Chain A
Amino acid sequence: MLDLRQYASLGAALSAALERWPNETCLIEADRDREKVRLTYSDFKEMARPLTRALEDADFEAGDRAAIIMTNQSKWLISAYSIFFCGGVLVPLDYKLSAAEHLQLLAHSGSRFLVVEYYLWRAITQSPQFANFSVGIVLVTEAPAGADLRGALRWEEFKRKGEPKFVARQREDTACIVYSSGTGGRPKGCVLTHDSYLEQCTSLTAWYPFWPGMRYLSILPTNHAIDFMVGFIGPFTCGACVVHLRTLRPEFVRDAFVRYRISYVSLVPMVLKNLERGLRAKFDELKPARRWMLERMVALNKSLTRKRPRVKLSRRLLPQVHKAFGGELRALIVGGAFTDPSTLQFFYDLGIPVTCGYGLTEACTAVTLNDLKPFRADTVGKPLPGTEVRVLNPDSDGIGEVAVRSRAVMSHYLDDPEQTALTIVEGWLLTGDQGRLEAHGHLQLVGRKKNMIVTAGGKNVDKEDIEAEFDGLPVKEFCVFAANYLWPQKTLGNESAVLVARLEQNQQLDDRLRKEIVARNRRLPDFKRVAGYVVWEKDFPRTASLKIKRCDLATEIGTGATRESIAEI
């Protein structure tokens, strides 16, 4: 691995990596079972050079912001590298957002440059809000011949000859603006410095190292904090290889483990659960004698790996299971949302090290991670090197709000000093998550203090994201809450949002209103939809400036109604 202490920026570190391992494969891109791209570090540099040079000619300057909206593919990483090389600030946006949300975040981030896949660009240009589009240069990848690009340029043709000049940045300069949530009303753009990333990369690779020749399967979106670090910065600064899949179809994901002999993969709980379902279905198909044998081997493996993983031994005990994962798998890294401990235990018992972590975009990537010494399914691991974790105002069970301090923590929310002041207090990042630190230094999460849900797919959803879609609903007033915020439960998982509506005097909840609620809900992406609604009989408490007092209202509802009063949609 590169000694990252000697580099001031991501651009400098990545550039050094391209020089250091010219003949190692750094990137493979596959679409289903078809391999589309395979690049060495030297090839990668050659691919990036003309783009970087063209950026220079387009007067792209240090500190300029450039957004990327793409699925995982080679052009994502090549574009990001070119942006960093030119001293730019990367704004990685979630490709699963709607076109209107993309336009809002492009405007909020002040991006003057955009790299976008054709089908996403087409959606953006068809949005009614496109009239306000203000990004200067747009590069569209993979556009069909003859397509009307509405003033955008083709990525593949945006190139110039010559050697670009590296633009130096300092550690404290902004590297990325990453949106954690809040597309509805108040976008939360986490401003992360080069120091944040380089520091985080050093910590993570100290526990889970990469090296030349090993392969990381990148299936989380690269805009996601986890994949950006573990599926780009980490492997590249270690000379390893990233494998991109253009599909998330479970059968091709499973196939990729074998085809590319994957060593690491990061997953959100939903994907892990899917893999578990697939394996369990296969086990159920076994004849009784083979099933019996499998169960004995699992039990033996479990007892032999109680203190630490013994991957080679597990591969011998359960060869068929390990072959299904390619035979080289060193760890499944799980994060982004609550993971059911029984799922973690299922994989660990099969001899597949599964490491659960905890992080948030505001802290760059990860705060804690399981070091597997020993494996613990009931915690999210220990603080990473260089990271301090405290529990604020603990109750008699030691449970309180989790606070984090490290160099990896963001510097602020973009253009939002008020939210920044509420979130970073005296150098500590207040996570809004509740937990306790147990005797061995492991963090256990037990709930959320904030009115937010995190889906099994790792998406943060703020109430404002949802409320915008219900604007104009014909009721007196309404509000969206995380159900677990109204009715706290000392466990995570099963998170859902609920719409609370106060009807006009003499108004009835009739079929028409119900249909309107359902229709508006359907317009939201599936992960943002409310699970149900509650009709509340009292006026909402409001401040002098007529803002809803959400905390007071939540307390009223939490004590005046039960979860059972939610009418499912």
Chain B
Amino acid sequence: MSAPTIDHTLDEILNLAASHFKVSREKLTPDDDFFKTLGIDSLQALDLLTRLEHHFRIELPDYELQGVSDFRTLAGRIQARL
């Protein structure tokens, strides 16, 4: 089975983030600063990472999130491990 496209990955991340933090999906865009848009701290961002790991069935070390604050870059990090 071929890996999903980056756009598909990004879309799934946005859907998951919206449902996990109970915000409207329409409010989230790929280049959003997720700390700001979701109103979360770095530990809550790690929580999101765990959800994403389960969803994509990958393991992401914490450091993959270091310096990442927008959904698009996060999608790139996940895509690289799919």
Binding site for B on A (CB under 8 A): 71, 96, 98, 119-120, 246-251, 270-271, 273-274, 456-457, 522, 525-527, 569
Contact = CB atoms under 8 A, between A and B. Distances in A.
Interface stretch (B13-21, B22-30, B66-74): B66-74
Nearest to B70: A522
29 contacts: A71-B62, A71-B63, A119-B61, A120-B63, A246-B61, A246-B62, A247-B61, A248-B43, A248-B46, A248-B62, A249-B46, A249-B47, A249-B49, A249-B62, A250-B43, A250-B46, A251-B47, A251-B50, A270-B42, A270-B43, A271-B43, A273-B41, A274-B44, A456-B41, A457-B41, A522-B33, A522-B70, A526-B33, A527-B42
A271 B44 CA distance: 10
A292 to B, nearest CB: 27
Contacts of B50: 249, 251
A95 to B, nearest CB: 8
A459 to B, nearest CB: 10
A456 B43 CA distance: 11
Contacts, number: 46
Most B Cβ at <10 Å: residue of A96, A248, A274, A526 = A526
B81 to A, nearest CB: 14
Question: What does DSSP make chain B's interface, helix, strand, loop or mixed?
Answer: helix
A522 B69 contact: yes
Contacts of A98: 67
Interface of B: 33, 35-36, 41-44, 46-47, 49-50, 61-63, 66-67, 69-70
Contacts of B66: 96
Given A250-B47, A271-B43, A526 B63 contact: no
A525 B35 CA distance: 11
B60 to A, nearest CB: 10
A566 to B, nearest CB: 14
Nearest to B53: A249
Nearest to A456: B41
Most B Cβ at <10 Å: residue of A120, A249, A456 = A249
B61 to A, nearest CB: 8
B70 A526 contact: no
Nearest to B35: A526
Q: 4 closest pairs, A vs B, by CB?
A: A274-B43, A526-B35, A249-B46, A247-B62
A520 to B, nearest CB: 13
Given A98-B67, A525-B67, A526-B35, 17 more contacts: A71-B63, A96-B66, A119-B63, A120-B63, A247-B61, A247-B62, A248-B43, A249-B49, A250-B43, A250-B46, A270-B41, A274-B44, A457-B41, A522-B69, A522-B70, A526-B42, A526-B69
A457 B46 contact: no
A330 B43 CA distance: 24
A70 to B, nearest CB: 11
